């Protein structure tokens, strides 16, 4: 398959119930992690390698979203309950379907930018995926 579009222009983030809107400037990489458990014991010879196994569970992850902000908009509600958050990536081909990354989560932090001469108002928020509906990546076409 020849991919025709590596451009991120057109990517979007949607919030299921809060209907948070704004002109998206950037969406960070989704950061997920799984702990590594050290199972090294005293039988390992000096100079030998530690032994590790993966933890049974993983952190569902976070994503940071930065967008233009107008004082006519509501702030992201940091007290809101979890909702479905969907990141839609740009289509790889004009006729194809877009890839998505979706799961339930909530706003764990939010911030406004400083106001300065010649500056534009920006807002950023961090979404913590809650693991109730684990974030799932759906491949586009």
CA 32 to chain centre: 9
pLDDT score for 37: 97
Question: Other C-beta atoms within 10 Å of 71: how many?
Answer: 7
pLDDT score for 77: 85
In a 10 Å sphere around its CB, with 0-12 CB exposed, 13-18 middle and 19+ buried, how is residue 131 labelled? middle
Quick one: average pLDDT of 21-34? 88
Give me the percent of the chain exceeding a pLDDT of 70.
Answer: 94
pLDDT tens, residue by residue, 29-85:
888 999 999 999 999 999 999 999 999 999 999 999 998 888 787 778 889 999 999
pLDDT score for 2: 54
Task: List the domain boundaries for the chain.
Answer: 12-32+49-138
Question: Other C-beta atoms within 10 Å of 107: how many?
Answer: 22
| pTM listed for this prediction | 0.81
């Amino acid at each position: 398959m020849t991919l025709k579009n590596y451009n991120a222009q057109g990517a979007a983030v949607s919030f299921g119930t809060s209907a948070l809107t704004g002109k998206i400037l950037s969406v960070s990489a989704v950061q997920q992690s799984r702990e590594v458990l050290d199972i090294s014991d005293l039988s390992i010879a000096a100079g030998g390698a530690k032994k590790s196994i993966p933890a049974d569970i993983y952190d569902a992850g976070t994503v940071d979203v930065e967008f233009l902000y107008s004082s006519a908009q509501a702030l992201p509600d940091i007290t809101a309950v979890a909702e479905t958050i969907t990141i839609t990536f740009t289509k790889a081909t004009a006729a194809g379907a877009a890839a998505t990354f979706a799961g339930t989560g909530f706003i764990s932090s939010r911030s406004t930018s400083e106001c300065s001469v010649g500056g534009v108002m920006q807002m950023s928020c961090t979404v913590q995926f809650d693991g109730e509906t684990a974030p799932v990546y759906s491949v586009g076409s």
